[in-house]
Structure 1
Amino acid sequence: MDDEEARTRLLDVAEALFYAEGIQAVGMDRIRTGSGVPLKRLYRIFPAKEALVTAYLERRDGRWMTSLREAVAAGSADPVAALFDWLAEWFSEPDFRGCAFLNAFGELSAAHAGVLDVVRRHKAELRALLADLAGPDREDLTDQLLILVEGATVVAALNPGPEPARRAREVAERLIRSNV
């Protein structure tokens, strides 16, 4: 196994465990065991747990944002509806546990600068996508859409299923109609 395969295995296991159980609840030994990567190699690739957490979040951000952008682009006739439909599907996944980025921030707070940086970049990317949907010079609508997306995600974390996304979509559509 080369370092790239080891890195992929480590990130696969870390992502599954961190998202399902929480970052602090999962030790490096469980990640080593689950990945089959020797401890010495694990620490050579990720010298500290924060480096692994940061890499996990960066990889998740890339995948998550790509999927969301593709869904919005595919729904070009009504990209806002496509966004909330995508959220409804995500909220309905059997392993849905809320926003990995807010979960990480909630667990680790600002004490881990690398993690905080990834969380902030992810939220800035999401806000930029919403700004594109809101249109030029619509900071107010952008912020309102962001609050709806984040709020629906938190509500769905407590009560998984599509309903929080559907309700947020209804509110978003009313906001857009009233702001035209």
Structure 2
Amino acid sequence: MRPNKRDELVRKALDVFYRHGFHATGMDMLVVETGVSKTSMYKHFKTKDDLILAVLKLRDERFREWLYARIEELSNTPSGQMIAVFDALGEWFDTPDFRGCMFIKASSEFQETDNPIYQQSSEHKRLLLEHLIGLARRADLANPEQLARQLIILKEGAIIMAAMGFGDTPAQDAKAAAEVLFASSLQD
């Protein structure tokens, strides 16, 4: 089934915003890089912020689908999947188009906590946290919420370190720290 113009615009805009950022990407740049006229853009989205929200929703769906499928491919146990997050991140960091986390970028560009763009970014992180909590519970680990929060902190730190070019192995470094946290949760 052929995608409609709105979906095509959102997909193309995702790539443009990911490369250039949200504030740095104006409507004129979007017209040039997506090949979609301003008239058509405004037909589908009343404001640039509405387009950003649609882009973030698509990115959230794509990223979580990829991550969850990938960690299930890497391990068939909940505990193994929690650690496999860092192997999946390492694969992502090694892709040529890796430019960091779109949600970290969005929340830094739209810092007001009542802004819908900030809230969409926060929701993405909350959903990832909930998934890790679920895995920790299924693995019957002590303090699943605390462990999941700690793993998210390592995950986010690894993303920032990779995006900023600090070291060659941020995913592996975060994985080593995660394994220590994981081992301590088994002893509780």
Which residue, out of 149, 152, 155, partners 1:149? 155
Q: Which amino acid in 2 is paired with 1:73?
A: E
Q: Which residue is equivalent to 1:44?
A: 43
Q: What secondary structure, in the 3-state scheme, does the structure 2 residue paired with 1:110 have?
A: coil
Q: Residues 91 and 162 of structure 1 are in contact (CA less than 8 Å); yes or no, is this contact kept in structure 2?
A: no
1:34, CA displacement in angstroms? Answer: 2.7
Change (3 A) 1:14 1:67: same
Aligned pairs for 1:99-114 (under 5 A) are: 99-110=101-112, 113-114=115-116
Which residue, out of 153, 159, 181, partners 1:175? 181
1:178, CA displacement in angstroms? Answer: 1.5
1:160, CA displacement in angstroms? Answer: 7.2
Q: Which residue is equivalent to 1:25?
A: 24
* Distance in 2 of aligned mates of 1:46 and 1:114: 15
* Distance in 2 of aligned mates of 1:161 and 1:89: 15
Change (3 A) 1:112 1:14: farther
Q: Which residue is equivalent to 1:163?
A: 169
* Distance in 2 of aligned mates of 1:112 and 1:24: 18
Q: Which amino acid in 1 is paired with 2:34?
A: S
Number of residue pairs the alignment of both structures matches: 178
Q: Which amino acid in 2 is paired with 1:38?
A: S
Aligned pairs for 1:116-135 (under 5 A) are: 116-135=118-137
* Distance in 2 of aligned mates of 1:144 and 1:109: 23
TM-score (norm 1): 0.90
Change (3 A) 1:112 1:37: farther
CA offset digits 1:74-103 (Å, max 9, x no partner) = 211421232111000011111111110010
CA offset digits 1:40-99 (Å, max 9, x no partner) = 221010110000100001000000000111112221142123211100001111111111
Change (3 A) 1:127 1:111: closer
Identity within the alignment, %: 35
Change (3 A) 1:160 1:20: farther
